[in-house]
Structure 1
Amino acid sequence: MRVKDGGQIRRWRRQKRFSQRELAYLVRRTQNTIYLIESGKLRSISEDLAVAIASRLEVPWEDLFDVCDVQVMPSVAHGTRSMIHPRPEFWPRVATEGDDRQLRQELPVATASVTPALEEAGANG
């Protein structure tokens, strides 16, 4: 959904005597999200958030938001695990069967009490 006017949401929020933090709590988001919406820095939001805000402000959602088609794009944010590197050697490694044995050798203290229980569960399961 596209926000028509963040200032209008701010005016309705103030009229209902909600702080940004209170409205954020009621719609299960952060105060920063409400700030970004009201300041116009966040123009597209999910349908469930738009309906929740309109409901809490007791305003028809059509007065605050426009329906827009949202294309789902793959996440390519810097510094996150969802970023795909063009070179395969930098892709996340998939765990193999031998990894647990190697981990036990590297961390014997942490796995000493867990290892017998895991082996017993494997034998019984």
Structure 2
Amino acid sequence: MPPASFLYLRMDLAIRGLLCFHTNLMVFSFISLKNFDVILIGITLNLYNDLVNIVILTMLTFPFKEHEISFHFFVSSISFNRRLQFSLYMYFTHFIKFIPRYFIIFVVIAKGIIFSSFFFLTLHY
């Protein structure tokens, strides 16, 4: 493969990485500012993953060209897998943050029900 092809491949992957970063930035900009630090950390990790994968995928170009395997399918499957892992991580951390709040609300409601039932029982006897 001529060196010019490597240059075009690197440019293509760099542009895809920046577009991926821009897409994640747009999606996460709708979330409230309470999770702003988590969002910035997630975007930073995602950008780091994109830049690391650009180097790895550039090195893996030769074997895929030799064996006639579609390189773009390989890139899209890695991208989908990485996005799925990142999405699951973000939803899991977002869910964990809300568990204590909902648990406190549940405890307050349960105590209120118990208190009101004892209060009504003492009124009737």
Question: What is the TM-score of this pair, normalised by structure 1?
Answer: 0.22
Give the helix-richer structure, 1 or 2. 2
